[in-house]
Amino acid sequence: MKEAVKAAEDEVFDIELNIDILKANQRLAEENRKLLQKYGIKAVDIMGAIGAGKTSLIEKLVEALKDKYRIAAFKGDLTTTIDAEQIARHGVEVVPINTGKECHLDANLVKKALKRLDLTKIDLLLIENVGNLICPAEFPLGSQKRIVVISVTEGPYMIVKHPFIFTDADVAVINKIDLAKAMQVDTRKLEKDVKTINPKAQVAFTNCRTGEGINKVIEALRL
């Protein structure tokens, strides 16, 4: 037998890897989606800037829907449970998710939070993301619908300045419409901005203090 061929010293090897780093979160999101589906739970991810009115929107949705659905909420925040307590006052189960320093929720945190709930006792899960118009867009959580809340107090260019988050949104909620005049913001222009980026997204105008327009959000979510 001839001598075996051996790799020479300092031989360079090409190694195919094809490892997708972002897939890890996408895979977990898919697992969450399947788990929620198995229990027949509708899940909505609510994104938006700090102070846009995400928590107020959840409070109003809870009030309007709590007779129809058994609701639970996840409330993403850096370190406090202030908002979580505010939502819990409406008599629904709330799991606060403190991200510590992270600027968004990810599928893994949602997976952990799901373990805290008795999934047989829930029909609707409202997930409030960390206040941020950028990062949450990169991290799907496994919800069926994604809402982006923007408010007129953020100025007239909020949507054109942060277009990416709207590409994944099913519903855009334009909040604080009662202040539009004082802010000199044209809400129809905001709607047009959303539609230009994502013609599929539905737009609802709200005042989450009074509850005006909440029924439109519920309609858009088909709840």
- The CB-of-69 to other proteins minimum distance in angstroms stands at 29
Residue 101 CB, nearest approach to other proteins (Å): 11
- Cα separation of 2 and 96, whole Å? 69
Residues 176-190 as b or e (16 or more Cβ within 10 Å = b): bbeebeebebebeeb
- Angstrom CA distances, 19 to 15, 16, 106, 108, 220, stand at 12, 9, 19, 19, 37
Q: Tell me: does residue 13 bind other proteins (CB under 8 A).
A: yes
162 DSSP 8-state letter: S
Does residue 160 bind other proteins (CB under 8 A)?
Answer: yes
Of the candidate spans 60-68, 146-154, 196-204, 208-216, the one that interacts with other proteins by CB under 8 A turns out to be: 196-204
User: Considering the rule CB under 8 A, would residue 6 count as an interface residue with other proteins?
Assistant: yes
Instruction: Kindly state whether residue 67 participates in binding other proteins, applying the rule CB under 8 A.
Output: no
Strand order in the sheet with 42-48: 93-98, 71-77, 124-128, 42-48, 145-151, 171-175, 202-205
The answer to whether 171 touches 223, Cβ cutoff 8 Å, is no
Which position among 15, 79, 118, 184 is part of the footprint of other proteins (CB under 8 A)?
15
Instruction: Give least dist CB 138 to other proteins, A.
Output: 5
Cβ proximity to other proteins, 100 vs 199, nearer residue: 199
Interface with other proteins by CB under 8 A: which residues? 6-24, 26, 134-135, 137-138, 160, 163-164, 167, 196-200
